[in-house]
């Protein structure tokens, strides 16, 4: 380390002045500040004012011997290097000074000049190392303490930040759920408006969306895929909006060639209407292919088998099922509809989906069976309570579907119903199942 260091202080103690003088002379050219004292008491006084690197004391002195002085010096300045200066005859007392006074060694009188200079230099260097070592140890302790403090502060900051983030995430999650819910409600409202044009197919879009997402769930598709299939199911016939009313009121089996040509445009129109919106791009593709047949005889692109997106194959089979069971003209039983679809598996539908369709249809039938201890009641909106199950589709006075049959009422949909009955009142009350008392 290249740090500018102050000169070290060296202290010699002897009751004989000529010895002190010669020692002072000897160290005149050395890089130390040399101090002398003629007694232990004087030396201790000096030590109150100055820090000494090396202290060399004569052993044999009146009043306070060298070892007595060094013992006191050790207490005052424990880091200094202490030595005792003695004649040959005093070896035993010198050993005492080493043991009691913590002297690092003893020097003999008379001394060899070069030897004593070398010893003092050596001791001064050792003192420097000791002081530096002490400084570094203290610095390490201080830095460790600071590190510990920083680490605690950092830990606290990270904890606080994590709490803030998870709170923010929760808020975002809730906002996202609300937006998804609103989007779902907008889509349903929109398709309900569309279905007003085709009175024979009330609730068709919602039925197809429900059955399609049910089948997708049974297959084991992930939530994102199920959601896209549900949206596509809800909007699959949105392209029919461009079909003239005269065609809409007919059954597709009665179409002329030109009318069929017009009708076959609706999947492409549906895709084109939604493709501009990023969120709808994937559902829009499923809509384009919802009339493709497994053997390639469908439209608009005459795709075959696996070429048809899975979501489109699901919507196609659910669409057929709902038309067979729920359209006013056909109105088949669930069993007959399933039998008809089974017959057309290699022509129109994906045979792998049939079992899931049948399972879903049977579950719906079971769910619709009215438990024996329930009775159907017609209630005013103000008398509805959460937990009641709707027994007939609820529509506004002008025919918009508000809530589907089998929906369990909660505070939110009861509130919507009450508002709607105020704006566009239906001619009847709300039909619900309630437990027989
Ligand atoms: Fe369609
Ligand atoms: Fe349809």
How many Cβ atoms are within 10 Å of 426's Cβ, its own excluded? 18
User: Looking at the domain assignment, is residue 325 inside a domain?
Assistant: yes
* Residues 374 and 340 reside in one and the same domain: no
User: Looking at the domain assignment, is residue 228 inside a domain?
Assistant: yes
Grade residue 52 by pLDDT with cuts at 50, 70 and 90. very high
* Residues 269 and 406 reside in one and the same domain: no
Grade residue 2 by pLDDT with cuts at 50, 70 and 90. very low
Starting from the CA of residue 318, give the closest ligand: 2
User: Looking at the domain assignment, is residue 283 inside a domain?
Assistant: yes
Start-to-end CA span in the chain (Å): 96
In sequence order, the β-bridge partners of residue 81 are 54
Q: Which of 72-81, 105-114, 317-326, 364-373 has the lowest mean pLDDT?
A: 364-373
User: Looking at the domain assignment, is residue 177 inside a domain?
Assistant: no
pLDDT at position 356 over 80: yes
From residue 177, how far is each of 28, 31, 394 by CA, in Å?
89, 81, 25
Domain boundary, last residue among 340, 368, 396: 368
* CATH number for the domain harbouring residue 35: 3.40.50.2300
Give the environment of ion ligand 1: residues with CB less than 5 A.
237
Q: What is the mean pLDDT of the chain?
A: 88
Domain boundary, last residue among 134, 158, 177: 134
User: Looking at the domain assignment, is residue 86 inside a domain?
Assistant: yes
User: Looking at the domain assignment, is residue 210 inside a domain?
Assistant: yes
pLDDT at position 423 over 60: yes
Q: How far is the CA of 291 from the centre of ligand 1 (A)?
A: 6
* Residues 349 and 392 reside in one and the same domain: no
* 15 close to 57: Cβ distance less than 8 angstroms: no
Q: Is the dihedral of CA 170, 171, 173, 178 positive or negative?
A: positive
* Residues 396 and 361 reside in one and the same domain: no
Pairing of strands 394-395, 401-403: antiparallel
* CATH number for the domain harbouring residue 348: 1.10.3210.10
Tell me the pLDDT tens digit for each residue of 283-296: 999 999 999 999 99
Task: Calculate the CA dihedral of residues 219, 220, 222, 227 and round it to 10 degrees.
Answer: 40
User: Looking at the domain assignment, is residue 215 inside a domain?
Assistant: yes
Helix, strand, or coil here: 398? coil
Tell me, what's the pLDDT at 1? 43
Q: How far is the CA of 126 from the centre of ligand 2 (A)?
A: 97
Tell me, what's the pLDDT at 133? 93
In sequence order, the β-bridge partners of residue 57 are 13, 84
Residues with Cβ within 8 Å of 409's Cβ and at least 6 positions away in sequence, in order, are: 384, 385, 386, 387, 388, 389, 390, 403, 432
Mean pLDDT of 273-284: 92
Count: domains in the chain: 3
* Residues 305 and 430 reside in one and the same domain: no
Tell me the pLDDT tens digit for each residue of 196-254: 766 656 678 888 999 999 999 999 999 999 999 999 999 999 998 878 878 877 777 78
Among 404, 435, 402, residue whose Cα is nearest residue 421: 402
Grade residue 3 by pLDDT with cuts at 50, 70 and 90. low
Side-by-side strand order, sheet with 389-390: 374-379, 430-435, 389-390
User: Looking at the domain assignment, is residue 112 inside a domain?
Assistant: yes
Q: How far is the CA of 111 from the centre of ligand 2 (A)?
A: 118
Among 270, 277, 272, 282, residue whose Cα is nearest residue 191: 270
Segments forming the whole domain that contains residue 415: 370-437
Tell me the pLDDT tens digit for each residue of 130-175: 999 999 999 999 999 999 999 999 999 999 999 999 999 999 999 9
* Residues 313 and 407 reside in one and the same domain: no
* Residues 240 and 359 reside in one and the same domain: yes
Q: How far is the CA of 119 from the centre of ligand 1 (A)?
A: 107
From residue 98, how far is each of 11, 81, 86, 396 by CA, in Å?
17, 11, 12, 110
* Residues 215 and 80 reside in one and the same domain: no
Starting from the CA of residue 286, give the closest ligand: 1
pLDDT at position 398 over 90: no
Among 318, 110, 125, residue whose Cα is nearest residue 207: 318
Starting from the CA of residue 240, give the closest ligand: 1
Among 351, 280, 363, residue whose Cα is nearest residue 317: 351
Q: How far is the CA of 325 from the centre of ligand 2 (A)?
A: 12
Q: Where are the alpha helices (DSSP H) in 27-112?
A: 40-49, 66-76, 91-101
Starting from the CA of residue 270, give the closest ligand: 1
* Residues 241 and 332 reside in one and the same domain: yes
pTM over 0.95: no
Q: How far is the CA of 174 from the centre of ligand 2 (A)?
A: 33
């Amino acid at each position: 380390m290249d740090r500018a260091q102050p000169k070290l202080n060296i202290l010699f103690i002897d009751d004989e002045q000529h010895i002190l003088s010669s020692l002072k002379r000897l160290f005149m050219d050395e890089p130390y500040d040399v101090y002398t004292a003629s007694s232990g008491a004087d030396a201790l006084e000096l030590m109150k004012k100055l820090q000494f690197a090396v202290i060399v004391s004569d052993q044999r002195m009146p009043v306070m011997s060298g070892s007595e002085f060094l013992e006191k010096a050790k207490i005052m300045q424990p880091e200094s290097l202490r030595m005792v200066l003695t004649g040959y005859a005093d070896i035993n007392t010198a050993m005492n000074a080493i043991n009691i006074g913590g002297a690092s060694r003893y020097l003999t009188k008379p001394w060899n000049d070069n030897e004593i200079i070398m010893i003092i230099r050596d001791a001064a260097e050792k003192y420097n190392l000791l002081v530096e070592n002490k400084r570094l140890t203290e610095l390490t302790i201080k830095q460790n303490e600071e590190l510990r403090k920083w680490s605690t502060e950092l830990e606290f900051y990270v904890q606080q930040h994590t709490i803030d983030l998870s709170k923010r995430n929760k808020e975002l999650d809730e906002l996202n759920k609300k937006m998804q819910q609103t989007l779902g409600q907008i889509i349903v409202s929109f398709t309900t408006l569309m279905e007003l044009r085709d009175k024979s197919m009330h609730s068709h879009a919602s039925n197809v969306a429900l059955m399609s997402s049910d089948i997708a769930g049974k297959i084991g598709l992930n939530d994102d895929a199920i959601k896209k299939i549900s949206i596509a199911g809800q909007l699959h016939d949105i392209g029919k909006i461009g079909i003239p009313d005269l065609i809409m009121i007919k059954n597709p089996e009665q179409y002329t060639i030109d009318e069929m040509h017009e009708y076959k445009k609706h999947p492409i129109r549906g895709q084109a209407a939604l493709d501009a919106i990023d969120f709808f791009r994937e559902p829009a593709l499923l809509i384009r292919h919802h009339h493709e047949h497994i053997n390639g005889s469908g439209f608009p692109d005459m795709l075959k088998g696996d070429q048809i997106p899975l979501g489109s194959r699901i919507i196609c089979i659910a669409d057929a099922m709902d038309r067979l069971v729920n359209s006013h003209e056909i109105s088949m039983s669930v069993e007959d509809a399933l039998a008809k679809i089974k017959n057309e598996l290699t022509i129109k539908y994906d045979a792998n989906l049939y079992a899931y369709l049948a399972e879903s249809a049977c579950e719906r039938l079971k769910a619709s069976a009215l438990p024996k201890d329930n009775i159907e009641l017609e209630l005013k909106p103000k008398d509805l309570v959460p937990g009641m199950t709707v027994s007939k589709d609820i529509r506004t006075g002008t025919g918009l579907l508000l809530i589907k049959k089998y929906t369990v009422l909660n505070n939110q949909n009861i509130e919507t119903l009450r508002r709607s009955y105020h704006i566009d009142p239906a001619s009847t009350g709300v039909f619900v199942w309630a437990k027989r008392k």
